Structure 1
């Protein structure tokens, strides 16, 4: 199978990417062999964009992805991110975007990945204590040095995107976007489209909730236990979204997850979602959603399903770094 391609700025990638975070953290124990097999299956299916970050598993995920692509590097558009201080100090959830840190973080990622360049390098969050111009200027110097091909921002606000683009072209904005997370719709999305910045939605399946397969009985080490949408009455209220998705899925002969993912996939030719999975079974289901074409009526009906969401997506502290 060959997926169609889309452009993030001038960077050509598969219309759907693969988020690799869950292979190393947040959603249960790591399974090296299945994770590598899943990455290989993604490449076989025509997925070219692989997404990781230095903070995922505190370096483990970059090492895993690097190992998986070692013999297939030329098939991959490799994206990674920098910025969270807990890479150096697990007790510190702050971010850094100063020039010295940008350069040192890139060198460390290149070493963990075992590659000589990164195709798409994101600032994981905008550092509120450093002008975005300094961060992007340092990223631009990495492009000049041949260590990075394209740069991106993650969870950045419209003003930061505009200021960043004034320093160097920004290929992509990676932000959470799904039926139940619509923060970027409006000013942020409009700014991206005005400036030619592609959009890479992460968690397009609502961290698994929108698949309809998630149980409230999450493992003790599952990161979702600390997210307001997955707890108590919020979970019960949000389950109504899944029930509506199931009804739509039956009508469209899709799974609920495919409906949710296809909705994101159909938001524009500049949108490249990166659903995360660490299992080949779910990978095949996700990739199939990339070819689903939804009518305007379908899109409107699906869109209405996710409007009433109970609970924030992060803790109040974590939300301070969103859309910065």
Structure 2
């Protein structure tokens, strides 16, 4: 069982257009409405791969009811916490060639009682021996202090489960002292955490090593099209996966985390699974999560011989 916690979920509307020109009227070639938020996407990817999962999330208003309905339609178990505010709606515009423009709404402000209720649901129902991992994902909504994730990590560890954390900024830094079992920053989040640019694979290795010194037991770092890194006490690995054509990278990092956790959450085999899931996700529309039929695991390459001098694109 892998439980996900998404403090700031969303409805994700995705439009595909040929080219985006500011100030112009566009006609979308396709559009989709998906349940969203990083942890929700992890649960969607886990469900698509046949794993047991439950999505814990605050929901409110008509958009929250619609999100719950979409989750039920995809066969995903949910443990909603009722809030007074409306669940946010995000908009993504994807151009031919995969360039993404995204507008994320701020979302509702949670009250102290709603914040406590969210922690209570996790502590009461999802820290027992049946839970292998809890994945805490995404930004914190207004009303939750940066230390909220740190409190959650401590609560989960006290119940004996392992915890994966995918967030950024002050919330990530505040949680490291609680020793999450794995953190999953992307290149930009890694650079923000250490306060300097990440220009090479070696730079990313050094930055991930700093996060481990601050408390992260493992660092799974996404370098976009350049691959992924995994740093842990037992070793370090670098991997790549080929992508024929990028259609949308919405949720690709979440698919990667689902692949990693579904494959055990440690070691080079789990890194390979993360790469396969991420590569499959970027070739699908909107935030569609890959199924096993979409994966090209044989094309994934993972090595302990990390190319430290390799420059990163972009």
More strand by share: 2
Task: Tell which has more relative contact order, 1 or 2 (C-alpha 8 A, sep 6+).
Answer: 1
Q: TM-score range by the shorter chain?
A: 0.3 to 0.5
What is the TM-score with the length of structure 2 in the denominator? 0.41
More helix by share: 1
What is the TM-score with the length of structure 1 in the denominator? 0.40
